[in-house]
Amino acid sequence: MDEFRAYRARMNERIGEIDHLGIKRFFRLDSAAYEDGALDAKTKELLGLVASAVLRCNDCIDYHVEQCIAAGWTDDELFDGLNVALVVGGSIVIPHLRHAVESIDIVRAEQP
Amino acid sequence: MDEFRAYRARMNERIGEIDHLGIKRFFRLDSAAYEDGALDAKTKELLGLVASAVLRCNDCIDYHVEQCIAAGWTDDELFDGLNVALVVGGSIVIPHLRHAVESIDIVRAEQP
Amino acid sequence: MDEFRAYRARMNERIGEIDHLGIKRFFRLDSAAYEDGALDAKTKELLGLVASAVLRCNDCIDYHVEQCIAAGWTDDELFDGLNVALVVGGSIVIPHLRHAVESIDIVRAEQP
Amino acid sequence: MDEFRAYRARMNERIGEIDHLGIKRFFRLDSAAYEDGALDAKTKELLGLVASAVLRCNDCIDYHVEQCIAAGWTDDELFDGLNVALVVGGSIVIPHLRHAVESIDIVRAEQP
Amino acid sequence: MDEFRAYRARMNERIGEIDHLGIKRFFRLDSAAYEDGALDAKTKELLGLVASAVLRCNDCIDYHVEQCIAAGWTDDELFDGLNVALVVGGSIVIPHLRHAVESIDIVRAEQP
Amino acid sequence: MDEFRAYRARMNERIGEIDHLGIKRFFRLDSAAYEDGALDAKTKELLGLVASAVLRCNDCIDYHVEQCIAAGWTDDELFDGLNVALVVGGSIVIPHLRHAVESIDIVRAEQP
């Protein structure tokens, strides 16, 4: 997880250096999508986690697991959300369910 | 929308007649995934809508639009959830955003 | 179904007129993939149907439904194969399961 | 094609009325992505067409077919680009190749 | 392969501990889908392999490679099935074809 | 990158040994799709890169990054093409954008 965080931070900085207006705006739009609006930020992070799970993107799952835990979702709530992803996306989601559960355990273990 | 509902009902009945144990259990598991649990049914329907949008399935969108409105989500909340789907899934989601908004308008117009 | 067959035939003819060597070779490779080899043609058509279902392509499902029935698969066998597709691909496959079952019924009704 | 254009225009207007800042910005970012930059607009439209074909989105294909023809790509160049999409995306792209060729023919027939 | 098996076993045990009824039922439904029915288990494992390949899931490919070899499919039959996956799914499947062939070789080498 | 190249070369050789006519023809068709035709090879490699990015295949991205750089595309042009992929495919493409930028930097650093 630490390795992934360092890689993500390093490459996001490198992508920032590219200074492509469209890419920069996309990154801002992506951040803004999870801020409080008609839905609160907490709900949106859970939407982001389930969307990442059905689209089977482990890096995206890790990012939203961290945000979901910071936003106050309990493990049982996260597992219940991941169950929706599993039913919608099928057994092909199972490897990503394993990854999500592992990441939830790692992030919880880091909490003080 | 009415045509789709009739088709869905007719074909679900036909699939029931097939009497395949695995398929029947899958349909029950699918229904159960959206019932109150650690997360409430209302939240889960929104997860189902966003998952359907990023996976680009109009029939699934229509089903969850109906359920989301019945569960009490406002239009602004649905649009805010669909914005998460748009950012996660990209411009390829736009035709399904159009479809979702059209279906929301139709279902609202049917309300007494 | 008849409309789809006529459209498919007309557009395949139009694509043939384009006379693009790569496209023509791809179409031949596609046909050849379902001929008897280490696996027999019947088994391969079922593989094609399940692959089409998990990739959620109704036109491809229709094509393979016709071929599977011509190859001698029974309805129960087709439904059992579609159940694998449903479990692998999740509830997002359900609209395509409906379509597949409808097409199976149509093709069977055409049989003398 | 005319029906699709009218629907697209009507729903885009409806989505504009929603007045969701994130959705509006996404639509602007989407338009901006195809403007002249390090790559010229003509090249980018072809990229958009091929991306739409491998992601199997007919509405997106129709949009980019129109833009590609307006940008000056010949039919042979479009077919050569679609061949790349076919090889990358496989036979599951064939129904969308049919659709793309049909749309190319329709848009060409409209030209004065 | 051994590392993957250990990880899969460990995480499946961890997911079992979660004790989420929906997730547990999904896992049972997934196992049941590959048991003898109208189609025999051997045929279903091949369907699972091809579905995994077109959906581009290496972990799923590894699982079904093991089951397919245990069920008695020969290498030539597996390659012929993977060829269907390649034609249906396109060149984007090639990295997963490489992975599948490597896993087939590993599992065969383990046989007594 | 070197490790990936060695693995790819080794497994392509292994797949060649399998001597499956369909697979061999697919590999030739895949190579031929990127040769000069109505579109030049340089343009086609960029199409291949963008198609690989929206389909989220890192191995395919690496292959086309190498070919695109060999064909003479500048970094700014590659980033502009990847921006199209990002807008079409959404934030789910971001991990693959990171990978693509990293691979571009590695391949450039190898140039004399």
* Cα dihedral across residues F4, F10, F12, F18: positive or negative: negative
What is the phi/psi pair of residue D67, to 5°?
-65, -40
* Per-residue confidence band for E111, with pLDDT thresholds at 50, 70 and 90: confident
Nearest Cα residue in chain F from C37:
F20
Q: Which two tokens stand for residue F14?
A: 């292994």
What's the confidence (pLDDT) of residue B103? 98
Q: Which two tokens stand for residue A6?
A: 């360092």
Contacts of E8 in chain A (CB under 8 A): 98
Read off the amino acid at residue F98: R
What's the confidence (pLDDT) of residue A111? 87
**What contacts F99, CB < 8 A, 6 or more positions away?**
F58, F61, F62
* Cα dihedral across residues C18, C22, C28, C33: positive or negative: negative
For residue F112, pLDDT over 90 is answered with: no
Contacts of C23 in chain F (CB under 8 A): none
C6 interfaces chain E, CB cutoff of 8 Å? no
Mutate to test the interface with C, among E61, E87, E96, E104 (most CBs of C within 10 A): E87
In order along its 112 residues, chain A shows pLDDT tens digits of 899 999 999 999 999 999 999 999 999 999 999 999 999 999 999 999 999 999 999 999 999 999 999 999 999 999 999 999 999 999 999 999 999 999 999 999 998 8
**What contacts F8, CB < 8 A, 6 or more positions away?**
E98, F59, F63
What's the confidence (pLDDT) of residue C4? 92
Contacts of E100 in chain C (CB under 8 A): none
For tokens 């959906």, the residue is E55
SS (H, E, C) E45-82: HHHHHHHHHHCCCHHHHHHHHHHHHHHCCCHHHHHHHH
Read off the amino acid at residue C94: I
Contacts of F54 in chain B (CB under 8 A): 90, 92
For tokens 């229904």, the residue is B31
How many beta-carbon pairs below 8 A join chains C and F? 18
* Residue D110 C-alpha, separation from nearest chain E C-alpha, in angstroms: 33
For residue E5, pLDDT over 90 is answered with: yes
For tokens 């885009």, the residue is D12
* Per-residue confidence band for C1, with pLDDT thresholds at 50, 70 and 90: confident
Report CB contact under 8 Å: F7, E79: no
Q: pTM of the prediction?
A: 0.98
Nearest to D87 among F33, F38, F84 (CB): F33
Q: Which chains touch D (3 or more CB pairs under 8 A)?
A: A, B, C, E, F
Q: Which two tokens stand for residue C111?
A: 């049989």
Report CB contact under 8 Å: F30, E102: no
Nearest Cα residue in chain D from B98:
D11
Q: Flag the least confident range among A39-43, B17-21, B32-36, E1-5.
A: E1-5
In this prediction, residues B8-29 reach a mean pLDDT of 97
CA atoms of F63 and F52, how far apart (whole Å) = 9
pLDDT digits (tens, 9 = 90+) for D27-58: 999 999 999 999 999 999 999 999 999 999 99
* Residue A112 C-alpha, separation from nearest chain E C-alpha, in angstroms: 22
D23 interfaces chain E, CB cutoff of 8 Å? no
In this prediction, residues C23-42 reach a mean pLDDT of 98
pLDDT digits (tens, 9 = 90+) for F27-81: 999 999 999 999 999 999 999 999 999 999 999 999 999 999 999 999 999 999 9
pLDDT digits (tens, 9 = 90+) for E8-38: 999 999 999 999 999 999 999 999 999 999 9
What's the confidence (pLDDT) of residue B45? 98
E4 interfaces chain A, CB cutoff of 8 Å? no
For residue F111, pLDDT over 90 is answered with: no
**Percent with pLDDT over 70 in chain D:** 100
CA C94 from centroid of its chain's CA atoms? 17
CA atoms of C28 and C19, how far apart (whole Å) = 13
The DSSP letter of residue A34 is T
Contacts of B94 in chain D (CB under 8 A): 27, 30, 59-60
What's the confidence (pLDDT) of residue F92? 98
* Residue A32 C-alpha, separation from nearest chain D C-alpha, in angstroms: 7
For residue D1, pLDDT over 90 is answered with: no
Task: List own/partner pairs for C10-18 with CB under 8 A and 24 or more apart.
Answer: C11/D98, C11/D101, C11/D102, C12/D98, C14/D101, C14/D102, C14/D105, C15/D97, C15/D98, C15/D101, C18/D75, C18/D79, C18/D101
What's the confidence (pLDDT) of residue D84? 98
pLDDT digits (tens, 9 = 90+) for E63-79: 999 999 999 999 999 99
What mean pLDDT, rounded, does chain E reach?
97
* Per-residue confidence band for D112, with pLDDT thresholds at 50, 70 and 90: confident
What mean pLDDT, rounded, does chain D reach?
97
CA D63 from centroid of its chain's CA atoms? 3
In this prediction, residues C45-63 reach a mean pLDDT of 98
Q: Which two tokens stand for residue F15?
A: 């797949």
Report CB contact under 8 Å: B102, D22: no
B67 interfaces chain A, CB cutoff of 8 Å? no
What phi-psi label fits residue F111: left (phi over 0), alpha (psi between -120 and 50 degrees) or beta? beta
Contacts of A81 in chain B (CB under 8 A): 39, 44, 47
